[in-house]
């Protein structure tokens, strides 16, 4: 295992790469079973401090590791992720494992099937370590909304790891997994990756199957990978991407070899820098780090030009109308009838519904259900939900016009570095504004990668967001790899 780097909290440890681990297993220098055991030992040591894993799948992981070791011993060709320890955000179902979505209302639910992404990882040889903590039903920007306690940032355990996939980002940063899966509805992969100093990928909507993902906002939800470097993230996306007959929104477009594409130089690419993402509210240290990243891309031979995305200012209210409306509809199924938590204080059916939902859902989920129900109610639908959908289309068209002029767009991932636990919990609006640079891409359906791009004076990571046109993941990976290669500190 790699030696620990010096960060506050002393929990950050650089994981080994997929390529290196796979080569060691193939050559017989390492055993997948021993590797899995070492990761479980690491989890046992530091999970009590960071609260990353909610449950472990040791029996399933050991069986998979033994299959990989048997293949290696026979000299059989190994699949892309052979023996690689991977963690799964607890909004994706795994057969037999608890699926809580970070909520009390799903207590005791063990799904009878695997999400498509989970099945594809295992088919590629990955060893699935367990289920990872997250904001309840993926609703949050800090990972403080989980019914099972907040996740702490490995860089500084007094700070948040970001949300809602904070546990997935923290697991990679603390080397509690080589890679993980998360979900992103309005920034839930990109913002935690930025806060924890790892790579996170927002695939194009429909690029990765949502079958087996517990829904928050169905027109916004996406599944994507976290990894310690761009090439590993590209490798994971290649494994999980592609058409799935079980998901009607799944794209039939061919899947590129993203890892090979990420190896291509970024020289000659046209990159846009939108003025709206560098306005009031951007932390000066974040701005300075992103500007250094932009300079590094210029030095790598990229053409950088200013662009404008003037409707960006409407993105946050638009997102929080559409996402909450869809959440209101999706979460109606959790009623205490067929599975999950059921309140014991119920004499009638109506009381069972009311008490089960009141006791089972947390405050943030209730807030979003109420907001969404209001936006969809008679007399308000046209004024709020329909208007938000119209603005969403304008935002999407604005991005497409920009991509006619540039190959990718560069922005900060978050306006601020990781903030302290409890700092924004009493101010929902301030928490929602933490998503100001990520919700636009979510609404537009485009893809993006966030890549580490320096740090503040206090050592807090800063992420650069690289956005590309729909199905333009290869371009985003090329740019992100160039930022990574610059070694900005």
Question: Pairing state of beta strands 179-184 and 85-89?
Answer: parallel
Structure tokens at 393: 């289309």
Domain of residue 323 covers 313-388
Strand partners, 180: 87, 226
292 inside domain: no
161 and 96 inside one domain: yes
Of 188, 250, 262, 328, the catalytic one is 188
Strand partners, 127: 85
228 and 350 inside one domain: no
At residue 35, the pLDDT reads 98
161 and 79 inside one domain: yes
DSSP single-letter state for residue 4:
P
258 and 378 inside one domain: no
Is residue 89 part of the annotated active site? The answer reads: yes
214 and 335 inside one domain: no
Nearest of 196, 131, 137, 185 to residue 162 by alpha carbon: 196
Of 89, 194, 251, 414, the catalytic one is 89
- The sign of the torsion formed by the CA atoms of 429, 188, 444, 477 equals positive
**What is the CA angle 145-146-149, rounded to 5?**
105
115 inside domain: yes
Is residue 165 part of the annotated active site? The answer reads: no
Structure tokens at 64: 């998979």
At residue 432, the pLDDT reads 86
249 and 113 inside one domain: yes
- Say how many domains are in the chain: 2
Question: pLDDT per residue over 301-356, tens digit each?
Answer: 999 999 999 999 999 999 999 999 999 999 999 999 988 999 998 889 999 999 99
Query: Which H/E stretch holds residue 467?
Result: strand 461-468
Long-range contacts (CB closer than 8 Å, 24 or more residues apart) made by 109-116: 109/339, 109/340, 111/212, 113/212, 114/212, 115/209, 115/211, 115/212, 115/213, 115/223, 116/209, 116/211, 116/212, 116/240, 116/244, 116/246, 116/247
At residue 1, the pLDDT reads 34
Which CATH number is 42's domain given? Answer: 3.90.1300.10
Nearest of 269, 258, 117 to residue 181 by alpha carbon: 117
Mean pLDDT by 10 residues, the chain (489 residues): 43 89 96 98 98 98 98 96 98 97 96 98 98 98 97 97 98 98 98 98 98 98 98 98 98 98 98 96 97 98 98 96 96 92 91 95 96 92 94 98 98 97 90 92 98 97 98 98 92
Is residue 104 part of the annotated active site? The answer reads: no
At residue 206, the pLDDT reads 98
Question: pLDDT per residue over 69-81, tens digit each?
Answer: 999 999 999 999 9
Of 103, 164, 165, 194, the catalytic one is 164
* Final residue in a domain of this structure, among 388, 410, 435: 388
Strand partners, 89: 132
463 inside domain: no
Give burial (CB, 10 Å; 0-12/13-18/19+) of 92: buried
322 and 257 inside one domain: no
336 inside domain: yes
324 inside domain: yes
* Final residue in a domain of this structure, among 361, 388, 415: 388
């Amino acid at each position: 295992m790699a030696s620990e780097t010096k960060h506050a909290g002393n929990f950050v440890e650089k994981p080994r790469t997929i390529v290196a681990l796979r080569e060691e297993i193939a050559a017989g220098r390492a055993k997948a079973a021993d590797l899995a055991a070492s990761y479980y030992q690491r989890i046992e040591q530091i999970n009590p401090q960071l609260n990353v894993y909610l449950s472990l799948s040791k029996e399933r992981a050991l069986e998979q590791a033994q299959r990989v070791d048997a293949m290696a011993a026979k000299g059989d060709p190994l699949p892309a992720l052979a023996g690689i320890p991977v963690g799964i955000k607890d909004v994706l179902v795994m057969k037999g494992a608890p699926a809580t979505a970070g909520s009390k209302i799903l207590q005791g639910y063990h799904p009878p099937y695997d999400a498509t992404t989970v099945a594809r990882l295992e088919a590629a040889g990955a060893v699935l370590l367990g289920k990872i903590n997250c904001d309840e039903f993926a609703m949050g920007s800090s990972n403080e909304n989980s019914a099972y306690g907040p996740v702490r940032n490995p860089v500084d355990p007094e700070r948040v790891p970001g949300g809602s996939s904070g546990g997935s980002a923290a697991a990679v940063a603390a080397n509690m997994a080589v890679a993980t899966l998360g979900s992103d509805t309005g920034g839930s992969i990109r913002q935690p990756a930025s806060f924890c100093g790892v790579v996170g990928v927002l695939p194009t909507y429909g690029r990765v199957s949502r079958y087996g993902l517990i829904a928050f906002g169905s027109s916004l939800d996406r599944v994507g990978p976290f990894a310690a470097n761009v090439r590993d993230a590209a490798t994971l996306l290649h494994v999980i991407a592609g058409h799935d007959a079980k998901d009607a929104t799944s794209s039939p477009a061919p899947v590129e070899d993203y890892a090979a594409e990420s190896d291509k130089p970024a020289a000659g690419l046209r990159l846009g820098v939108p003025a709206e993402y560098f306005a009031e509210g951007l932390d000066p240290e974040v701005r300075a780090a992103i500007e250094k990243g932009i300079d590094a891309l210029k030095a790598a031979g990229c053409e950088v030009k200013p662009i404008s995305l003037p409707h960006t200012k409407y993105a946050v209210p638009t997102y929080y109308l559409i996402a909450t409306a869809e959440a209101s509809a999706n979460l109606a199924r959790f009623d205490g009838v067929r599975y999950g938590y059921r309140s014991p204080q119920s004499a009638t059916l109506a009381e069972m519904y009311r008490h089960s939902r009141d006791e089972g859902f947390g405050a943030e989920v209730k807030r979003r259900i109420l907001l969404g129900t209001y936006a969809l109610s008679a007399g308000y639908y046209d004024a709020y939900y329909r208007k938000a959908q119209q603005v969403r289309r304008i935002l999407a068209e604005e991005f497409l016009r920009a991509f006619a002029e540039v190959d990718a767009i560069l922005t900060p991932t978050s306006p601020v570095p990781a903030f302290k636990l409890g700092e924004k919990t009493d101010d929902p609006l301030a928490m929602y504004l933490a998503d100001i640079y990520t919700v636009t891409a979510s609404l537009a359906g485009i893809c993006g990668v966030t890549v580490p791009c320096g740090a503040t004076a206090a050592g807090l990571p800063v992420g650069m967001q690289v956005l590309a046109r729909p199905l333009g993941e290869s371009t985003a990976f090329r740019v992100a790899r160039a930022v990574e290669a610059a070694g900005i500190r």
